[in-house]
Amino acid sequence: MQDALSMIYLWLKAGHIIFVIFWMAGLFMLPRYFVYHQECAPDSPENAMWVDRERKLLKIILNPSLIVVWVLGLALAYSLNAWSEGWLHAKLALVLLLSGYHGWMASYAKKLARGERPLSGKTLRLLNEIPGVTAAIIVILVVVKPF
């Protein structure tokens, strides 16, 4: 199995990078949607449009991208036999963190759809920094392999 994965390593890597880009784009967009959503009146037509946009972003881009990123990422780790590498452990921990952030955003979208608005726009703007900082650290881990 590992030999077969090694032959398609570059295709796995390309697919992984492509779907990481899709996933990260969604992780950057959804909190901004939340900010705009919270600024509109709760019972307005605009509110219903934001609920629909958030739902579509999650179902069409974010959720499928998350699954493909994990599948291709694990296949890459297997093809490299990198399970004992410290950088991979750190990367996996950070990807787990981003996956949890993704799950939290999906649950926050459901709260907004129900009319609950527990966080301020400022807090959502700050939370929007999590994926960027995490992605930068992940890229350094993968490229530099500091440990």
pLDDT at 2 over 80: no
pLDDT at 37 over 90: yes
Q: Determine the Cα–Cα distance for residues 30 and 109; give it in Å rounded to an integer.
A: 9
**Which residues make up each annotated binding site?**
16, 91
Average pLDDT, the chain: 95
Q: State pLDDT tens for residues 54-113.
A: 999 999 999 999 999 999 999 999 999 999 999 999 999 999 999 999 999 999 999 999
Q: Determine the Cα–Cα distance for residues 70 and 30; give it in Å rounded to an integer.
A: 20
Question: What is the chain's Cα-based Rg?
Answer: 18
Indicate the number of domains in the chain: 1
**Which residues make up each annotated binding site for heme?**
16, 91
- Could you tell me the residue range of the domain that residue 38 belongs to? 2-144
pLDDT at 129 over 90: yes
